[in-house]
Amino acid sequence: MKILIKGGNVIDPANNISEKLDILTDGKVIEAVGKDISSPDAKVINAERLTVIPGIVDIHVHFRDPGYEYKEDIISGSRAAARGGVTSVACMPNTKPALDCEALIQYVKNKAEKAGIINVFPVGCISKGLKGEELAEIGELKAAGAVGVSDDGRPVISSILMRRALEYANMFDIPVMSHSEDLGLVDGGSMNEGYMSTYLGLRGIPKAAESVAVTRDILIAEEVGAKIHICHVSTANSIDAVRQAKKRGVRVTCETAPHYFSLTDAACDGFNTNAKMNPPLRSAEDVEAVIAGLADGTIDAIATDHAPHHIDEKNVEFDKALNGIIGLETSLSLGITKLVNTGKLTLCELIKKMTYNPAKIIGTDRGTLSVGAPADITIFDAAEEYVVDVSKFASKSKNSPYGGMKLCGVVKKTIANGKIVYDGGGKE
Amino acid sequence: MKHLLGLKDVSADEIKNILDTAEIMKKRLDEDIKKFDELKGKSVITVFFENSTRTRLSFELASKYLGANAANITSTGSSVAKGETLIDTVKTINMMAADILVVRHSSSGAPKLVSENVDCSVVNAGDGMNEHPTQALLDMLTIREKKGTISGLKVAIIGDVKHSRVARSNIYGLKKMGAEVVLAGPATLLPSQLEELGVRVYTDVEKAIDGADVVMGLRIQLERQRAGNFPTVREYSKLFGVNEERLRLAKPDAILLHPGPVNRGVSLRAK
């Protein structure tokens, strides 16, 4: 079915477009972008006063499938994505079994295609079984459709294994997506080290546990000339390490998550396990540094690290609670509320970090509204306020620290591959 | 006050009220027949997931002296050993008409989690590295008895501050009661941004003890710390132990407190 989106404020960073335009899709790809397009046989969506962007590309999610389907599965995760305006995700391989072979990559792709909601790009393991011992069959993973490799959830402890992974993955031109963490420095900590960890009597995780490992991984990538993507940066020094490396011409990209620019470790007060994640929420200075890194281009992409957990895994003692929060259904509005409405980024810059840039990192042609590109389109009201109600989330899990928070920016429609996959109502 | 989860949530007036009551109650210990009825018909359950001598026994005996039905469970002899969660365990106890749960747990925040899942009162008997409010109340009672007041005193807390819930509760309580609190220990055993709790922090024990009215020694929490925070017990004792010579730096009438258990010869060395 053809869809004609009329009169929206179209933002397409890849093509430097930010104006009131119409978009016509032929049911699969974008057929035309321009003024006063008419198409008698198309379903018309009136996007007056709404913003129209490429479907959001979130390159860091956990869909927990196979193995932990009680937390999330590929279908529920896809619905959560669609509700958040996300049309493409890269899902991390720390499932059970871990995505370390061709058959498992195909399982994820097949299930996602059969569901037909959004595009799910699997990330394969760096090491067999995420054990950090031997390389997984990265060539075969790539051939099966993996868009990157990562042992996300745990770091590659061995520096020589990291070096080999970078050299080896580089042959296939897929990024090593590094969860950079020095577990020795973590030393059993469960939140950021600082005043709040002292106040709560919780073991602190020093910031250097992240920045030391980020620095190591960048230096190894630099030496072998390979592409590296640093996942979820959260500290000022990690960001600075990336900034300096980019100046030296290292092929490094990085992402941060909405919680690192919207919350500090103060959110852990009262032993709030929905503020427990890894890396942990940091200090106010780090939040400032994340925002500065987004503004000056050091941080390429915003990805949610959507990490669903069952309530029984969160409603426990803080140090026993599992790490992570869900994020797919709040990322756009957090970006608008905390970055755009505060004047830190323009809406166009935010959208670029949520569409075009992350698409480039995983090497897909999505994240643009170019004619001929797959019709992945998100329509939202950038001015509408709402109060986050976790019970309305499409995700199977509800572990979000944003419940009850007033945010700005409401997704009205999500179109993936030319099909409306989320319809939040509104004007037609 | 329904729960006693920590002194960070308790006001100076409430602390004073508790200490005044404790003063009266303490006299009861000298009675010939220790059977009273303030808690008659109430059930007090001590739920201890960590080892304890003093705290558990004092709760149990106090409950009994005041006429309550006292019972206790520990992690090893209970369903916890079968994998039951903390919340399920305490909900079950709550259903048996418990009035007060006294909880000790190795995880900071566990008593608060318990209080959110039961309708009876919860008393924190020590949670992880967070708080041990009744120990601090006892310390404040002792200080008040010996010194007549808490306000204006200089209290030096020495040792493994990082892993000490007793230190934290004492900091919150003593500050609220108007004392000046100074802390000292090796840098590896001082938690991050400790000064922001309104205390002075030293790595030189002698500076901390200088002119103190009260010196409090802390045990090295070997069960809570990973190896290597200091080279040897010998060096620790030499640099950070509270000994007679160092105590001479305190005021002549200074008192020495230690929450116990004492690792003799390490954190304290007798003359």
What's B83's domain CATH number?
3.40.50.1370
Size of interface A-B (CB pairs under 8 A): 63
Q: How far apart are CA B227 and CA B209, in angstroms?
A: 27
Co-location of B199 and B121 in the same domain: no
Residues of chain B with Cβ-Cβ distance to A271 below 8 Å are: 108-109, 112-113
Average pLDDT over residues A159-175: 98
How far is the C-alpha of B122 from the C-alpha of B103, rounded, in Å?
Answer: 7
The share of chain B scoring above pLDDT 90, in percent, equals 82
Residues of B in contact with A276 (CB under 8 A): none
Examine the pLDDT at A177 and tell me if it is beyond 50.
yes
In a domain, A374, yes or no: no
B139 and B248 part of one domain: yes
Residue B107, amino acid: S
Query: Of all helices (H) and strands (E), which one includes residue B216?
Result: strand B214-217
Domain enclosing residue B223, as ranges? 133-257
Residue A232 Cα distances to A93, A179, B234, angstroms: 16, 8, 43
**Has residue B27 been placed in a domain?**
no
pLDDT of A428 reads: 41
Which residue in the set A194, A201, A312 is minimally distant from B108, CB to CB? A201
User: Would B268 be classed as within a structural domain?
Assistant: no
Indicate the SS3 state at residue A132.
coil
Instruction: Dump pLDDT digits (tens) for B24-41.
Output: 999 999 999 999 999 999
- With an 8 Å Cβ cutoff, the interface of chain B facing chain A consists of 8, 85-87, 105, 107-110, 112-113, 127-131, 165, 168, 191-194, 196-197, 226
Residue B114 covered by a domain: yes
Using the predicted structure, report yes or no on whether residue A427 has a pLDDT greater than 60: no
Tokens of B160: 């493994």
pLDDT at B262: 80
Number of domains observed in the structure of chain B: 2
Identify all chain B residues contacting A316, using CB atoms and an 8 Å cutoff. 85-87, 113
- Please tell me whether the peptide bond between A258 and the residue prior to it is cis, using omega within 30 degrees of 0: no
Out of A188, A198, A316, name the one closest to residue B191 (CB).
A198
A358 lies in a domain? yes
A6 within a domain of the structure (yes/no): no
By residue count, chain B amounts to 271
pLDDT band at B81 (very low <50, low <70, confident <90, very high): confident
ipTM: 0.93
Q: How far apart are CA A92 and CA A153, in angstroms?
A: 9
C-alpha gyration radius of chain B: 19
Q: How does pLDDT run across A294-306, given as a tens digit for each residue?
A: 999 999 999 999 9
Q: Which contiguous run of DSSP H or E holds residue B249?
A: none
Same domain, B157 and B253: yes
Quick check: A426 pLDDT over 60? Answer: no
Residue B57's φ and ψ, nearest 5 degrees, are -65, -40
pLDDT surpassing 60 at residue B154:
yes
Ranges assigned E (strand) in A207-347 = 228-230, 252-256, 301-302
The mean per-residue pLDDT over the stretch A399-405 comes to: 98
Q: Do A195 and B193 touch (CB under 8 A)?
A: yes
| Of B100, B127, B154, the domain-final residue | B127
Asked if the bond preceding B261 is cis, omega within 30° of 0, the reply is yes
Considering the domain boundaries, does residue A291 fall inside one? yes
pLDDT at B224: 67
Residue of A nearest to B224 (CA): A203
Q: What is the CB-side half-sphere exposure of residue A406 using CA atoms within 13 A?
A: 4
- DSSP annotation of A308: -
pLDDT for A188 = 94
Residues B121, B226 within the same domain: no
The answer to whether residue B11 is domain-embedded is no
Alpha-carbon torsion, ordered A139, A140, A145, A147, to 10 deg:
-30
- Domain contains A349: yes
Number of structural domains found in chain A: 1
**In sequence order, what DSSP letters do the residues of A7-44 get, joined into one string?**
EEEEEEGGGTEEEEEEEEE-SSBEEEEESS---TTSEE
Q: Which residues of chain A have a CB within 8 Å of the CB of B122?
A: none
Choosing from A286, A305, A376, A381, the catalytic residue is: A305
B59/chain A closest Cα distance in angstroms: 23
Domain edge (last residue) among B127, B161, B178:
B127
**Does residue B157 share a domain with residue B239?**
yes
Asked if B170 and B117 sit in the same domain, the reply is no
| Together in a domain, B137 and B244 | yes
Pick from A195, A201, A203: which is nearest to B168 by CB?
Answer: A201
Work out the angle between the directed axes of helices B133-147 and B165-176 (0-180°, nearest 10).
50
- Arithmetic mean of pLDDT, A255-283: 98
Q: Is A204's Cβ below 8 Å from some Cβ in B?
A: yes
Q: What is the pLDDT of residues A128-161, one digit of tens each?
A: 999 999 999 999 999 999 999 999 999 999 999 9
Measure the CA angle with vertex A185, ends A179 and A187; round to 5°: 105
A22 is catalytic: no
The mean pLDDT value for B138-166 works out to: 97
Of B81-95, B121-135, B146-160, the poorest mean pLDDT is in: B81-95
Measured distance CA(A74)–CA(A64) in Å, rounded: 8
Question: Is A201 touching B (CB cutoff 8 A)?
Answer: yes
Say yes or no: B123 and B174 in one domain.
Answer: no
Strand partners, B48: B74, B104
One domain for residues B146 and B203 = yes
User: Which residue shows structure tokens 């000022």?
Assistant: A236
Q: Is A341 helix (H, G, I), strand (E, B) or coil?
A: coil
- Per CB-CB distance under 8 Å, the chain A contacts of B128 are 201-202, 319
pLDDT(B148) > 90: yes
Domain-embedded: residue B207 = yes
List pLDDT tens digits, range B181-205: 999 999 999 999 999 999 999 999 9
B8: nearest CA partner in chain A: A199
CB A406 within 8 A of CB A341: no
Please check whether residues B179 and B100 belong to one and the same domain: no
Q: Which of A248-252, A387-391, A422-426 has the lowest mean pLDDT?
A: A422-426
Whether residue B152 is found in the same domain as residue B202: yes
> Cβ contacts of residue A19 below 8 Å, gap of 6+?
A9, A10
Tell me if B6 is assigned to some domain: no
Nearest partner of A418 among A175, A190, A118, A163, judged by Cα: A118
Q: Are residues B56 and B103 in the same domain?
A: yes
Considering CB atoms only, which of B109, B129, B197 is closest to A317?
Answer: B109
Nearest to A201 among B85, B130, B196 (CB): B130
CA–CA–CA angle A351, A227, A140 (5° rounding):
100
Give the minimum alpha-carbon distance from A417 to chain B in angstroms, rounded to a whole number.
Answer: 45
What residues make up the domain containing A69?
55-362
Q: The CATH number of the domain where A355 resides is what?
A: 3.20.20.140
